[in-house]
Amino acid sequence: MKKILFVTLIIFFSAAGFVFAQNWHTANSVQIAWNEVTTNESGDQIDPAEVSYVVYMSNATTDPEKANPVEVDQSTNTVSTITLNTEGKYFVGVKAIRTVGGEVVAESAIAWSDNPLYVGAANEFGVQYFLPPAAPTGLRPQ
């Protein structure tokens, strides 16, 4: 019985480690990319020229539920450069917007960088930025 309990606990804690695995990229500027959207939610082909993208960031510490994401870029490109100037940890999200005849007709859900549905299992990531320490002062010979 103890052996079964021990094995069960090992499996549970190992699985928990995979669920909470997070790759943090430390930088003040990071380039992200995503696949071009060429279909609608049903899988039917759409004209990629009708699709633009909105890039978001959400503070992983103060807004982990991503209730108040901040828009940082809007473009027809599938690449965006995000420059961080506030220290912290952030998740990145991208939403597709479909425009037909100059009118926005539909928007996708936001694909977040910490969601394996959008980035693949064990590929979840976030970006983090830390200000450098102050330079030493009081230099003197000893």
CATH of the domain at 92: 2.60.40.10
**Residue 21 pLDDT:** 52
**Contact (CB, 8 A) for 132 and 31:** no
**Structural domain contains residue 46:** yes
8 in a structural domain: no
Q: Which two tokens stand for residue 109?
A: 């859900």
Number of domains in the chain: 1
Residue range 124-134: mean pLDDT, rounded: 96
- Residue whose structure tokens are 């970006």: 127
The answer to the question of residue 6 being in a domain is no
- Kindly tell me if the per-residue pLDDT of 11 is higher than 70: no
Q: What is the pTM of this model?
A: 0.80
Range of the domain at 70: 22-129
Looking at residue 16, its pLDDT comes to: 38
Do the domain assignments include residue 51? Answer: yes
In the 3-class helix/strand/coil scheme, how is the chain assigned residue by residue?
CHHHHHHHHHHHHHHHHHHCCCEEEECCEEEEECCCCCECCCCCECCHHHEEEEEEEEECCCCCCCCCCEEEEEECCCEEEEECCCCEEEEEEEEEEEEECCEEEEECCCEECCCHHHHCCCCCEEEEECCCCCCCCCCCCC
Residue 139 counted as domain residue: no
**Average pLDDT along the chain:** 88
Does residue 7 form part of some domain? no
Please give the pLDDT value at position 94.
98
